Structures are given as C-alpha cells and as structure tokens.
Structure 1
C-alpha cells in the first residue's frame, strides 16, 4: 500500500501537469500572436473635453458600399479638365443623352479649355436596358454606373456616385457641374462669364439657384419629407438639383461628409445638408433657372441653365444660338 507521501507526490505531479496543459491551450504561442484576436485590457485615459465631432473616427452611417459596374477610370489620366459635367440620367433617355453629346455637352466645342461630360446611372431592374446602356458605353465612353437600383428615391446615391468619381478618378479638375438630362446649358456663359478660365481657380466654391425653404409634410407631394426623417422646420440653403456648379475640391468634401450624414432622398436638399456641415455657403446666381422658359434668343443668351428642354428643342436652340452669334439683342 503506497504511503501518504507517495500519494501527495503523485497528486502534486498531476496538478502541475494539468496546469501546464491548460496554459498551453489558453495562451497563443508567439508564432500566432499577430494573427489572433486577443482581448487586451487598456488603461483608462483622462477624457479630453475639447474633442469635437470632426476629429472622432465614427462608423459611417452611409458607407456607400456600391461597386462601379461601368466606369471610365482613365478619363483624366492624360488630361486635366477645366470642367467636369455630371449629368443625372435614366436608361430610357438615350435621345436626351445623344442630344447633349451633339450640342452643349460636346467635349470638343472649346479648344482652349478641356470639358469632360459624364452621364450617371444606377442599375435597372430590366436587364435588357442594362445591356443597351453597356453597348452605348462601349461606343461613347462617357457613362458611369454603380450597382444600386436606378430610381427617383435613389437620386442622392447617383449624385454621391458622381462626387465619388470626381474625387477618385479626376481630383485635379478645376470645376464640376451637376445637372439633369432635360436641362439646356448656355456653355459660353458658364465657361467665360461664371468660371473664367484665365482667373485663379476658386476653392470651397458652390453656386446655383439657391433655395431657402422647409420640408413639405403633405404625403401627396413629390417632395414629401417625414418628420421622422427630417424633424427640423427649415432646410439649410441648397441649390436646385437642376443645375449647380462647384470647385472640384468640394466633390471630395461632400462625398466624405455624406458617409456620416443620414441619407435623404431629396438630392439637392441632402447636398445642402452636407454643405452646412462643411461650413460652405452656396452663392446665389440668377443665371441658373430651374423652370421652363419660353425660347427667345436674347433671353437664352442671358442665362446659364433652362429646365424641361426636350431633345428636339435642345438641337433647335443650340443651332439657333450657334448660327446667330453675330446678331445683337
């Protein structure tokens, strides 16, 4: 029969063996330390009361986790555009896109400044329309598409895609214009009277038809905004989405700000919210018209944008203004 000393010795050996086995499986070896998630107790630091929202890293509210399914990432590799024109359009508006390509959106119109025209779309639920846009893109190389559903309520995503594209693939451009496919743009006034290529490029610049208004609570309205989504009684000043112009540095600022700004479906209001966060105040310019205006050669010579112009009207206006430059008003 074993003695008490022997039993105690065996018990000690077993306890040490058990302890070593537990430590071996509960602690990673040095080989794997860099690859395992090991909780580390951190010392509590004194809170800095001067910390502001701008220097705190927060999880994005709108990560914009969409991929480019059609892209023109090499558009600005060999040139630095004076102006990038971002045109919000839909799949069925081929005639409007073609009219713009052949009139005010023609990139070869001005020999002394480089203009870049980009059409913005999402993905359609009809795959035939998607294939048609892909074929159009292969011909003209002026279309950018992300894989969100193309709809009225996703117009904000479309505009943020444009901002992202400029910031990522054309950051050295001087100016950007965002507009729609039913807008006529008087390019002479835009280039030479507003932006003035011979002057020093502006920074943190934003202009268009400035609207000071508040949310519409009528659910029957196209521009309805619920109190849950936007509880404030006033919108910050914003430019009509039919056409606004800004310095290219603002594209990157707006896109990054949008990642931490609650999404609203009213695109122009949303851009205004981002501008308020950035401390950028949009400038009013009466040359931007967000309504239909009866055609008159002299009237159209004084404006920058006109709304609700059909492809046929676009050709007629452009040809008239181009062929009658010698006429005085």
Structure 2
C-alpha cells in the first residue's frame, strides 16, 4: 500500500508540474502580445490628431480665398518632389495651359474710392507690386517716394497689388493682418490668385481692369516693384510736359530679345508655347510710366491676348496689339546701376547722381530710406552747380549674338 501511495503521489506531483508548465507557457505569449496593443492604438491616435487639424485648417483657408484650379495646382506641385527623384521643371506648363483661359479672380480687398477722395483730380497713380510678407517694403514706400498727397501741384495716389500667399501656414492670421493694414492705410488691392512669379501676368491684367473701372479719371500711372527707388519729383516734372489726352508708355525698353530655350533658366519658354524667334519690345518690370488713355487701351487689348507667363513680355504683346511703340528713357534703370568702365571713379550710390534719375531698381529697404533722406534733407549733399545736367548714358556693348530676354 505504501508503495502504491508513493507512486500515486509522484504521479500526481508530476501531472501538477506538467499542467503548471503548460499553463505558464500558454500564459507567457499573451502577456507579451497584449501590452503593445494599447500602445499601438495610442500612437496611432497621436499621429492622426495633428494631421486632421492641419487638414481642417487648410480647408478653411482654401474656402475663404483660393480658387479650385489653383488649389489643384498647389497640391500637384507639393506631391511631385516626394514621388519623383527627377528635378522639377521651373514651371508646370501643362498645368498652365489647362488653366490659362481662367483669368477672372475675385477681388478680396478693394479701394473703390481711391481716385475720388478728397477730390476727383488724380494726376499720378502709383501702383506697386508687392507680396503679403513684405510689410517692411510697403512701409518703406509709404514713407518715402510713394507718399500720397499733393507734390509740386500734382495729386498723387498709391495702391499695392497683392495675391494670396503660397505658404499660408508661414504667416499666421495673414488675412486679418491684411484687413487691418487696408483699414489703416487704404491702399491694399488683394486678389484670390496665388502670388507666384508666373502669376504676375494675372496681377497685370487685374490691375488694368481695376484702374479702368475705379481710376478712369487718372492722367498718368506709374507701375513698379517695391524694391525700386523713384524720384517722384522728376516723374511729375516729366509728366507735366506730356499731353494726358494722348498715348504714353515710357520706361527701360528691351528690344530684340529672344525667348530663352534653356530648361535651366527661370525664364524658359518652350517653342510650343511661343514659336516666334523674337519678343516684341517691352519695358523692364522694375517700373514704367503710362498715360490714362494708354491704360484703358491696354486693359481692353489684354483681354484679346493669350496669357503669357512672363508679365513684362505679355505687356509688350498688348502694346503690339494696339500698335503702340514703347519709348526708352535714360532715367529708368530697372536693371540697377553697374559701375561703368568709362567712369570708374563714379560712385553709383551718390545722391547727386540719383537726383537726375527717375527709377532705379534692386535696392534694399534701408538703401531706399537713406537715399530719400539724403535727397530731401535741408542741406542737400550737392549744390546746384554740382548736379549732373544730363543723365549718364550707359553704353550697352554691341553683341554679335541676339540679346536674350531678361526680366526683372
């Protein structure tokens, strides 16, 4: 009996040990697998929340200001770098050709009374191309050469031309800031197309349409960039000798410019888009003058000319459409002032020299402030005798090859 009991006890202990081992091995993997499950769910929730937040924020902005066509263009361009290793072209011509006939965008911020108050007399309207981010440049223009008021007996008015920013998330509350700036200065014109280099043509046609509708009584218009220095007194003196009832288009005119066919260039234009070998004469976009009569003719002709991605050339096509030849003026330096080899001692940043110019391109905001203060100080840096009687004529080298197109 003792032998049997001992055998039964051993068998029972053996079976208990086996069962415990089986239970242990069966429970062990469940303990390993089960804890990660809640972790994975927590991680997925954390990554989804910011994504939905950004998507909802973008969708609100798009509903407010952007058209569907340009939202699609922006989405396609953002996906391209991540899906392809090939270098993206400087311009999506296929997308451009699909949307080139869409040229009517909503005016989000308007100044309908710009040319009516305080009186109906408007001698010169200054229109400056700008972007939302460049508040400091707009402020520099407002406080220097772009001041509104009566200058040498002529009423001067000012507007800034803007589109919606491409990177909306980089500028928080940009719409509210633009509304506040417009309310304070009353000089902002904002359309709902994306403010990109190749959309400057849209800015051109929309401004002309706006000027024809709201500033039809203006005698002359100066249109330029925010990084130019303008001697407004010289502009007014020149315009007071012109007939406001006739055509006028004056600037730094480029003739015999050929389309650039190199794909590496910012201004690359394929032959399928422009098959001719030469551009019509056009003005450098840094700044040019035109009469109110010419403005109205250009506004009408631009509706009959296909949109072209380079705004300077496009305006030259519109001038060609109305059979108007732009006039070259030596006071317009829309490509800056290089130091000439014929006068190596000439200081290109000399206020005495700037006195006799009209428009100089590619200046920093601080340089514009400095030059303005020097020219309008109580003790001018140069006397009347020292002033240059005639502007220095920059001789362009005669090249055997045709001149390539260069724009501002």
Give the TM-score, by structure 2 length. 0.63
| Alignment partner of 1:205 out of 240, 248, 254 | 248
Cα distance per residue 1:285-320 (max 9 Å; x no partner)? 011001233311121112111111111111100000
- Where does residue 180 of structure 1 map in the other structure? 225
For residues 107 and 242 of structure 1, the distance between their equivalents in structure 2, rounded to whole angstroms, comes to 20
1:167 touches 1:251 (CA, 8 Å); kept in 2? Answer: yes
Query: Is 2:354 the partner of 1:300?
Result: yes
State which drifts further: 97-106 or 72-81. 72-81
2:152 touches 2:233 (CA, 8 Å); kept in 1? Answer: no
Structure index of larger Rg: 2
For residues 96 and 254 of structure 1, the distance between their equivalents in structure 2, rounded to whole angstroms, comes to 28
Gaps of 5+ in 1: 1-60
Compute the displacement of 1:70 (Å): 0.3
For residues 103 and 293 of structure 2, the distance between their equivalents in structure 1, rounded to whole angstroms, comes to 19
2:244 touches 2:293 (CA, 8 Å); kept in 1? Answer: no
State which drifts further: 239-248 or 110-119. 110-119
1:63 touches 1:259 (CA, 8 Å); kept in 2? Answer: no
Gaps of 5+ in 2: 1-99, 338-347, 387-408
Cα distance per residue 1:214-243 (max 9 Å; x no partner)? 111111112211211111100111111111
Query: Is 2:382 the partner of 1:311?
Result: no
| Alignment partner of 1:82 out of 123, 130, 138 | 123
| Alignment partner of 2:146 out of 86, 90, 105 | 105
Cα distance per residue 1:12-36 (max 9 Å; x no partner)? xxxxxxxxxxxxxxxxxxxxxxxxx
Q: Secondary structure at the match of 1:165?
A: helix
Q: Secondary structure at the match of 1:245?
A: strand
Q: Secondary structure at the match of 1:302?
A: coil
**Structure ranking higher in helix proportion:** 2
Q: Secondary structure at the match of 2:193?
A: strand
With CA pairs under 8 Å and 6+ residues apart, which has the higher RCO, 1 or 2? 1
State which drifts further: 247-256 or 99-108. 247-256
| Structural RMSD (CA) | 1.7
Compute the displacement of 1:281 (Å): 0.5
Change in CA separation of 1:245 and 1:271 when aligned onto 2, cut-off 3 Å:
same
2:245 touches 2:293 (CA, 8 Å); kept in 1? Answer: no
Q: Secondary structure at the match of 2:184?
A: helix
For residues 290 and 64 of structure 1, the distance between their equivalents in structure 2, rounded to whole angstroms, comes to 28
| Alignment partner of 1:96 out of 115, 137, 141 | 137
- Where does residue 398 of structure 2 map in the other structure? none
Q: Secondary structure at the match of 1:84?
A: strand
Q: Secondary structure at the match of 2:304?
A: coil
- Where does residue 255 of structure 1 map in the other structure? 299
For residues 115 and 234 of structure 2, the distance between their equivalents in structure 1, rounded to whole angstroms, comes to 24
Within 5 A, what are the aligned runs for 1:9-24? none
For residues 161 and 372 of structure 2, the distance between their equivalents in structure 1, rounded to whole angstroms, comes to 23
Change in CA separation of 1:200 and 1:256 when aligned onto 2, cut-off 3 Å:
closer
2:286 touches 2:334 (CA, 8 Å); kept in 1? Answer: yes
Compute the displacement of 1:134 (Å): 1.9
Compute the displacement of 1:129 (Å): 2.4
For residues 120 and 102 of structure 1, the distance between their equivalents in structure 2, rounded to whole angstroms, comes to 17
Segments of 4+ moved more than 4 angstroms: none
Q: Secondary structure at the match of 1:271?
A: helix
Give the TM-score, by structure 1 length. 0.77
Within 5 A, what are the aligned runs for 1:47-196? 62=101, 64-77=103-116, 78-108=119-149, 110=151, 112-125=153-166, 126=168, 128-192=173-237, 194-196=238-240
- Where does residue 313 of structure 2 map in the other structure? 269
Compute the displacement of 1:75 (Å): 1.2
Cα distance per residue 1:188-233 (max 9 Å; x no partner)? 11110x2116x54241211101101111111111221121111110
1:124 touches 1:130 (CA, 8 Å); kept in 2? Answer: no
For residues 147 and 284 of structure 1, the distance between their equivalents in structure 2, rounded to whole angstroms, comes to 34
Compute the displacement of 1:64 (Å): 2.7
Compute the displacement of 1:257 (Å): 1.4
